[in-house]
Each structure stands twice: as structure tokens, then as C-alpha cells.
Amino acid sequence: MASVPAGNPPDVHRPIEDYALIGDHQTSALVSRDGSIDWLCLPRFDSAACFAALLGDEENGHWRIAPKGEDGPCTRRAYRPRSLVLDTVWETATGTVRVTDLMPQRDRCPDVVRIVEGLDGEVTMRSTLRLRFDYGSVIPWMRRSDGHRVAVAGPDSMWLRSEPEVRTWGKDFGTHAEFTVGKGEKVAFVLTWHPSHEPRPPQCDPHKALADSLEDWQAWADRCRYKGPYADAVLRSLITLKALTYAPTGGIVAAATTSLPEEIGGVRNWDYRYCWLRDSTLTLGVLLAAGYHEEAKAWRDWLLRAVAGSPGDLQIMYGLAGERRIPEYELPWLPGYADSPPVRIGNEAVQQLQLDVYGEVVDSFMLARQAGLPPKPHAWQVQLRLLEFLESVWRQPDSGLWEVRGPRRHFVHSKIMVWVAADRTVRALEADPRLRGDINRWRAMRDAVHREVCERGYDPERGTFTQSYGSRELDAALLLIPRVGFLPPHDPRVTGTIEAVRKELAHDGFLRRYSTDDETNVDGLPGGEGAFLACSFWLADALHLTGRTQEARELFERLVGLCNDVGLLAEEYDPVHRRQLGNFPQAFSHIGLVGAAFTLFGTEEAG
């Protein structure tokens, strides 16, 4: 299928950056500028969506509340300070109205709360609710009960009510309402999910839920230790990471969505509603640096539970509670965002061998020990078993950090992370004589990996490390070489690599993660992708570490400028058409923002 130019998506879909996030620490929803909730999975991040207009159209499920006759975007919107409570404001010919959206932390069942408040004059509002269970494919049976509208289909049930009660009617398999608010008047809607075989859930007080949510979020935000420049962007990124955390287990999903394309009209559409090991060290680092030790501990504990078992069975990703089976399949009834099929559920990459994740896990264990997180007695034994297995397989090719679906290769970044696993084990044994282990064995492994990478992964003619042994392609993951300590920042092989990556993977001032040219086809997929935001933040880190701090800060400022109006980033950015691409919001991008801010400004006070 030919790609649609990135600047000309079908009109049915809003730009990705038009969305804001609300959530309750177990799932989340995306709210557009025109007041429509177009994506919501219940009861968990990885559950089937009941609003799937994001990947189809309004008939696949959405809920819009907006002034009657206003078809375009709102006048303005913003999160309440230091929270995930969203205010959307319309200024109309007859008055001004605000819709406040939130998902309060749940006691038992998830709620979506939408409070309409008149600010000036009078405004007639319309609410249109189309519930479609199982990713937009199932129209529920609707009935009235005790002042509620009740939707039921199979295992799912939703209850809708308003305070004060407004008249609703059914039409075109949707539930509609129309009402007028004057200055100071409020109408609150509550939509509650629960298993259809259980009794009606307890009623949520929408106004108390708003007050409690603001108090909870602002108390959490007050714990942030970052005080440097761009403090608002850093805090918004941390709030986003918190919102992507599955509270019952501490797992952090890579994104709230599935199948938002990396190229409009392309096929690089993946399900990111799972927890990746590759993110572990960077996630742990930013949480600890920002002062969120409880969240860091919960993530470390999730990690330990997820990797328990045979080291040979280590996966690159897991479900929210550490589930191992994440089968991939497609939803043919959804056309995809901006006509970019297929829509995928699950992720086949879970079956890949990626040597880098062993280094990420071991590095996370060391970071947790250094930060003084409460020790776990079995963590050291897990680490040794991982090393023993890695010792037997590290010379094999793998699928690499980016989960390429082409042939396995000897990816240089993967080998460097093998070195990290051995190095961190040696350093732990040197620092703590109480730990038991064969330090000479792991030193020998560390030295062998280092020697091989420098011999087979470095191109002396061009003065750069390469993506894989013997290749001429580059990889933005090579920017992490000085950060992990494989070589010092001012080693000419490091500075040469940074310059080569910056030159060859440049994308209008930002950075691609690797080349997707047809000649190389390293990932086995057609088409291309945008600038990868996490990699662009890594470039800022690398420039700073090599003494080019002013350039690093200028790049960081440009990257922060890509955040949408409420401070959110997707996975990628199209600098030609100036729009975000990929799943949204993306944890990896926000981790990159926070990490770079601490690197560049961590010792400075905002002013």
C-alpha cells in the first residue's frame, strides 16, 4: 500500500498532538481538542477499547461533550497545575463554558468524570456517547435503570448518569443529551465500567472526585526534586510517567495506545501497552533522580518478578503484571489511524532474542543498590544466573534494541550492553565483599566483550562504531556508549561516533534511530519513519558529555518545543510536516526529556 503524505491525513482523524491524557493509574483515555474521548481501554491499559475512534471513526466508539453547533477545536485547554485534571474551554457567541475531564483513582471500578461548568453567559451543550466494546466491534444493549443509562455486552457493562439529571435519548446506536448552563451552573457526568455479571458499582461523587484527584496529584507533584530550567516540562513528563504506571504492580507501559503509525499510511504500527525491559535503567534513573523512590522501588520489584525463572526464558517485554504471553493479531474492522493499517493487538517481538535487555536488567539492579532501595535477598542470585546464561550466548546475533523484524545481526549496542552486565557484576563484587561470585570469570568476560566490540564493531576508516559487525550503517543507540561507561566521553572513537551519527542520521535538526533505506532494510519492513525523540534527547546528552554543552542545550530547547500544548510527546516527530507520529504519549520520549534535563541542568536553579 502506498504511503499517504504525512501532512495530508484523512479528515476523520485529528493530529496525534491534538490529544490530552487522563488516567487513574490503571488505564487512561485520550481527549481531543474538540472535547471527544476517542480512546479508552477498560479496565486496564491492555484491555479492549470501548472508545476506538482513534483507530477508526466515531462509529467505533467515542464520547463528545461540546457546545451545540461547535464542530471545531476548543478555544483553549490546559491541565490544572501539577495534576492530570484537564480543563477544556470554549468561548462562543452566547457565553463561555468549561469541561473538566478526569479519571479519579479507583476504589474498585474505573470512572470517567466530565464536569460541565458555565463561566459566562449561557451555552447550550451536546453530549454524544457511542459505546463500542471490543475495539469498536460490539454495539451494546442499552437500557434505563434508576436514573442511569446502562450498556451491556458480554463481560462488559457501563453505567452513565448525570448530576443534576439531564434528559437523554437514543439515536443511531448512541446516547444523546442536550442542556444549557449559565454562569456558575454545573452538570456532571459519570461513566463507570464494571464486569457485567456483578451488581451495580458504587456511585462516584464527581465533585468530591475532582477535589480528591487535585489534592492527590498536587501532593505527588510536590515531591519532585528537580528545580532547574524547564521545570514545567520536566514535571509534566514525570506526571505522564506516573499516569502510565499500572499501580497494582508498579509496571510502566511504553504508551497508552496501539498502532499509531510511525509513518502516515505505513505499516510500522505496534502495540505499546506493555512493559519493556529496555526502558528499565533509564526509567529507574529518572525516578530516583526526581525523588520518586516509592515508584522506583515498585518498578524494581516489578522487574524482579517479571524476570524470575530460567534466564534463557527472559523476554524483552511483559504484561502489566508480568504476563509472558502477548500474542499478536490484527483487527480488520478498524482502518487504522489516518488510514494506516494494520491495527495490531499484542506484540510478536516478545519472542525475540535481545541481548541488550540482560545489561539493562543488571544495570537496574546496581542502580537500585546504589540508591539505597530496600534490598531483595534473591536479587543477587537472579543477577548471577543472568550472567551465567549470557556468558553462553553473547556471541550469537540478536534482534537488537529496536526489535528489528529482519534477520538477526551482531548489533554493536547489544554487545555493549553485554559488557555492561559483566561490568556491573564485577563492580558490585569489588564494592561489597559480602557478595559471592567468581570475579575473575566476569572480568574475563567483560574484557573479551570489550575487545571484540572494539575490533569488529568499529570502522577505523570512518572513525565510528557501526550498527552491527561489518556494516556501514549507524545506530543512534551508539550515543549511549559514554553514558554506560564503555569508553570515556573524550575518546576519539566516541567523539567520532557522535559526529557520524549526527551527520548520517540527521532528520531536519533531529535524529532518526537508524536508516530505513531500501538498500539496507535492516528491519525487514517497507517505508520509513520520523525522527525518534528519545534518540534526539540522547544526542543532547552525548554532546554535553563531550563538552559541547551549548549545542546540547539548544537541541534540548528545540525538543521541548515539540511538546503539544499540554506538554505531551509521541514516539516520533515528522519535521517536514511538523506533526507527531507513533504511539502517544510515549514513556521513552518523556524519560529522555527528564534524563536530559538532569544531565544538562540538574545543578541549576530555575530562574
440 Cβ neighbours under 8 A, 6+ residues apart: none
- For the chain, residues classed under CATH 2.70.98.10 are 32-220
| Among 352, 348, 368, CA closest to 360 | 368
**Under 8 Å between Cβ of 106 and 246:** no
Considering the domain delimited by 223-601, tell me its CATH architecture. Answer: Alpha/alpha barrel (1.50)
Name the fold adopted by 32-220.
Answer: Beta-galactosidase; Chain A, domain 5 (2.70.98)
The residues with which 183 forms a beta bridge, in sequence order, are: 118
DSSP SS3 for 170: strand
Residue 89 is placed in which grid cell? 474551554
Phi (first) and psi of residue 193, to 5 degrees? -100, 145
- Give the whole-angstrom CA distance, residue 256 versus residue 23: 10
Which H helix or E strand runs over 233? helix 231-243
**Boundaries of CATH 1.50.10.10 in the chain?**
223-601
Q: pTM above the 0.85 mark?
A: yes
Distance of alpha carbon 406 from alpha carbon 471, whole angstroms = 15
Q: What is the distance between the alpha carbons of residues 288 and 373, in angstroms, rounded to a whole number? A: 10
pLDDT in tens, 487-518: 999 999 999 999 999 999 999 999 999 987 65
pLDDT at 520: 61
Looking at residue 1, its pLDDT comes to 29
pLDDT of residue 606: 53
- Strand runs (DSSP E) across 363-455, as ranges? none
CB atoms within 10 A of CB 225: 11
Residues of the chain below pLDDT 50: 1-10, 607
Q: How high is the pLDDT of residue 12?
A: 66
The confidence score (pLDDT) of residue 308 equals: 87
Q: Can you give the pLDDT at residue 6?
A: 36
Question: Is 606:597 a contact under the CB 8 Å cutoff?
Answer: no
Give phi and psi for 502, each to the nearest 5: -60, -35
User: What is the distance between the alpha carbons of residues 453 and 212, in angstroms, rounded to a whole number?
Assistant: 54
